[in-house]
Structure 1
Amino acid sequence: MENQDPAVVDAIKASGESTLEKAIAKAKIKFDQFVNISLNIAVTGKTGAGKSSFVNAFRGLKDEDDGAAPTGPIQTTMEPIMYEHPKMPNVKIWDLPGIGSPNFKAKTYLKDVKFNTYDFFIILTSERFMEHDIMLAKEIKKLKKSFYFVRSKIDNDIKSEKMKKGFDEQKVLSIIREDCQKNLKELGDPKVFLISSRDLEKYDFESLQNILEDELPELKKDALLQAWPVCSAACLEKKIRMFKRMTWAASFASAGVAVIPVPGLSAACDLGIVVLFLIRCYYAFDLDERSLTRLSEKVNKPHLKDLAKSKFVTAIREKALSRFQVSTALATIATAEFFLSLIPGVGSAAAAGISFATTQYLLTEGVNDLANTARVIRKEAGFAFVH
């Protein structure tokens, strides 16, 4: 290892392996899993509880947006419907029919909705949890899968309680939480997450994310974090750390040089992987135009979109395809050359023949550039950052 480029040595250490060959083999597997590992989330509960709105909020969509799950005061979900995450297609969220509806009786519900499809269940209600919810949780537990109780439409409760004398928001939230838990006491002491699909930055949406991260396997955890909406400064920082941690794998996977163990790893470099990694980062940080438009409207600051003008944001936005796709077709020659032109000393070098060190430098610079842009935007939007 002593004769190798310092950047290579550092990347081998980051991989946790002892040799270049082992690090490269591991990197290819890790990168493929990072991009393609599937995650299937089931959202179920009583008809009218707000399942479809939750599905839309998780996917970064408003209820009225094209491709959003249909919502309404009557039952709109008559069978399990899969919604692909618009930015991370390997993540899928399923809007399941309401428990106890005419076509889906509680006793046969899990079989009817194809239980084995899902990694975990969100059991959601807008009022109290009922017998059907408890029965479902018991059946899920028997089959050794995870479930999480979510109380939705908290913003409606807060709005109505505000009109009362002596209003105390924290007291109201505590009363709602205790009432939900009281109805679930036969299940032990399950946590109940209070959320508003209209305002993910408030209440327990981030706490739900933290619990899911703690309990999911590592690969599923990375998939979840990539797709999860940026609901706080802490959430954004987690995403940044994750992408920084993965730069070694993207670098080795891009170099593709298992048969060329030479100092510097100068070889034909697959810039498709580099561009795919950075575009995935761009979407995970909610730097795409739809996410920024939604944020700017929410905080009434139209100028937020104008802050997304860094060199890598510009490269992605102007050169990449308009809709995210997990495909190396995303890495057009124009995009690759644009990225390379951002590196001092490389200029408009051809995609082939750049060194491993250059590849890693490009990835590190890209992640830092996108991260700093996202931080500036979120800070301007009113998110507090603690470093």
Structure 2
Amino acid sequence: MAGKAKESRITLTEAQIKDLKKTFEKGSYSELSGRLEETLASLENICLDVGVTGEPGVGKSTFINAFRDLHEDDEGAAPTGNVASNKNPVPYSHPKYAHVILWDLPSIGTPNFHAKDYLEDIQVSHYDFFVILASSQFTPLHASLAHYLKKSDKDVYFVRSKVDEDLEAIRQTQPAGFNEAAALEKLREECVQDLKAAGVKSPKIFLISNFLLSRYDFPLLGETLWKDLDLQRSHSFLLATPNISHRLLEKKKAAMIEHLWLVSAVACGLQAESIHEISVICNVDLLVKMLQGYCISFGLEESSLRKVADHAAQPVEHLRSLVKSPLANEIAKEQVVELLIQAASKPPKLPKELVTMASMGLSFAVVYNMLKTFVDNMAGDAHRILVKVFMSQKPRGESEIEIPNVSETERPSL
């Protein structure tokens, strides 16, 4: 005898429950979905502009490529090496999220440089926050620029690039007594003291290697920006962040789950069609688009897997064997219908305030359950790929093989 289908609890905020209850009582999603469709569209099109600056040769272009998960020989990568310094800001859109743009700003520290004039030249109000890079020590020049950025009400993050080179130099001078953790702490303290001496209070400092993203502070930089940005921009930022740590993958998953109620409500009221096998009414085309988007964010598409395999010197078949979910290009209407049928076989447990409305909320509940299961499965696939490809570059403190099951989130829901 088959076991009892496992229930999936739907967790919603009080405001979300209130909106849905009103909708269920009216017996129609049209009013709610019409209002929320605009919200969903705005989330997908939120713009994020990041200003990246520093002196010549500190690795601005390499940093911009790294965040966009591009190597220097990839199409659309910012030119690196001995290239002429640009005199005007140069935008580089994220290859998957065109509204997320990293700007390669003119170098600082040039003759006749003045921080106040520099901000006028780059039109400081255009950017959401700034990253100041240095490849050695931070100087009063960096502090002066940060001072004027703060006066313009902009957040500033100090990034010490090329820390892998710093550590190797220290290793060469201390072959017997080298301790990486102690060396990193000393580098960090030197950066803090240099900036404090130049008048910067509580500087946010991150030690990174543009070529070893999952080591050192690059994942921490991603987490910090996610927490500091407003809710809408943090959503765009997090989806665009490369999959370089288990913690970031879990936060990416949590960000998606926060908005499943919104997607479900819109899908059940916007150009919905009936799925006769399970008496569910929803917009299957919209769900196809959403599932494809989730796959792209987790890197579960053919082109992404091939690029990762190429750069990691791994056969793409090895990575593909770790993926249990369909890739983005494999998702079609027929498959979404099948996933909905599977979801309907495991009745979701609605919040108690909506139980009496369950008949009207059946479509919403099934769609939500399907999306939640799909996101959970994709996150598991992404974790397995991270373990396989980047094990040797994992940040300190991460589990050797454990894949997190619980989302870590401190952000409120919409």
Do Structure 1 and Structure 2 share a fold, with TM-score over 0.5?
yes
> Which of residues 61, 70, 91 is equivalent to 1:61?
70
Contact 2:343–2:370 (CA<8 Å) still a contact in 1?
no
Contact 1:312–1:339 (CA<8 Å) still a contact in 2?
no
1:329 is matched with none
Contact 2:284–2:337 (CA<8 Å) still a contact in 1?
no
Contact 2:271–2:283 (CA<8 Å) still a contact in 1?
no
Cα distance change of structure 1 residues 106 and 100 upon mapping to structure 2, 3 Å threshold = farther
> Which of residues 115, 127, 131 is equivalent to 1:122?
131
1:351 is matched with none
* CA distance, structure 2, for counterparts of residue 62 and residue 283 of structure 1: 18
Q: Which amino acid aligns with 1:274?
A: L
Contact 1:312–1:369 (CA<8 Å) still a contact in 2?
no
Deviations 1:153-207 (A, max 9, x none): 1111122222222222122212222222222111123121000111110001121
Is the aligned partner of 1:148 residue 2:157?
A: yes
Matches within 5 A, 1:1-387: 15-18=16-19, 19-21=21-23, 24=33, 27-101=36-110, 105-164=114-173, 165=175, 166-185=177-196, 186-256=199-269, 267=281, 269-297=282-310, 300-302=313-315, 303-307=317-321, 309-313=323-327, 316-318=328-330, 335-344=332-341, 355-381=363-389, 382=391, 384=399, 385-387=403-405
1:36, CA displacement in angstroms? 1.2
Q: Name the stretch that deviates more: 117-126 or 208-217.
A: 208-217
Matched positions, count: 354
* CA distance, structure 1, for counterparts of residue 91 and residue 373 of structure 2: 36
The TM-score, its normalising length taken from structure 2, stands at 0.76
1:300, CA displacement in angstroms? 4.5
1:24, CA displacement in angstroms? 3.8
The DSSP-based 3-state class of the residue aligned with 1:43 is strand
The TM-score, its normalising length taken from structure 1, stands at 0.81
Q: What RMSD, in angstroms, separates the aligned Cα atoms of the two structures?
A: 3.1
Aligned-residue sequence identity (percent) comes to: 33
The DSSP-based 3-state class of the residue aligned with 1:40 is strand
Q: Name the stretch that deviates more: 213-222 or 75-84.
A: 75-84
Cα distance change of structure 1 residues 60 and 9 upon mapping to structure 2, 3 Å threshold = closer
1:149, CA displacement in angstroms? 0.4
1:46, CA displacement in angstroms? 0.8
Deviations 1:1-58 (A, max 9, x none): xxxxx99997685725343448546633442232111111111111111011000000
Cα distance change of structure 1 residues 23 and 14 upon mapping to structure 2, 3 Å threshold = farther
1:232, CA displacement in angstroms? 0.7
The DSSP-based 3-state class of the residue aligned with 1:41 is strand
* CA distance, structure 2, for counterparts of residue 374 and residue 271 of structure 1: 25
* CA distance, structure 1, for counterparts of residue 329 and residue 322 of structure 2: 10
Deviations 1:128-164 (A, max 9, x none): 1223211110101111111110000111112222222
Cα distance change of structure 1 residues 133 and 175 upon mapping to structure 2, 3 Å threshold = same
The DSSP-based 3-state class of the residue aligned with 1:44 is strand
Q: Name the stretch that deviates more: 364-373 or 242-251.
A: 364-373
5+ long unaligned stretches in structure 2 = 1-6, 24-30, 273-277, 345-361, 406-414
Cα distance change of structure 1 residues 137 and 311 upon mapping to structure 2, 3 Å threshold = closer
* CA distance, structure 2, for counterparts of residue 265 and residue 113 of structure 1: 56
Which has the bigger relative contact order, CA under 8 A and spacing at least 6? 2
Deviations 1:224-273 (A, max 9, x none): 111111111111111112212211111111222699xxxx9955x33343
* CA distance, structure 2, for counterparts of residue 9 and residue 46 of structure 1: 50
1:328 is matched with none
Cα distance change of structure 1 residues 156 and 373 upon mapping to structure 2, 3 Å threshold = same
Q: Which amino acid aligns with 2:100?
A: V
Contact 2:325–2:381 (CA<8 Å) still a contact in 1?
no
Q: Name the stretch that deviates more: 67-76 or 295-304.
A: 295-304
Contact 2:264–2:364 (CA<8 Å) still a contact in 1?
yes
The DSSP-based 3-state class of the residue aligned with 1:89 is coil
* CA distance, structure 1, for counterparts of residue 132 and residue 228 of structure 2: 17
5+ long unaligned stretches in structure 1 = 1-5, 320-334, 348-353
Cα distance change of structure 1 residues 298 and 174 upon mapping to structure 2, 3 Å threshold = farther
1:358, CA displacement in angstroms? 4.1
Cα distance change of structure 1 residues 356 and 174 upon mapping to structure 2, 3 Å threshold = closer
Cα distance change of structure 1 residues 79 and 188 upon mapping to structure 2, 3 Å threshold = same
Deviations 1:311-363 (A, max 9, x none): 432xx2246xxxxxxxxxxxxxxx2233223443799xxxxxx9444433432
* CA distance, structure 2, for counterparts of residue 199 and residue 206 of structure 1: 11
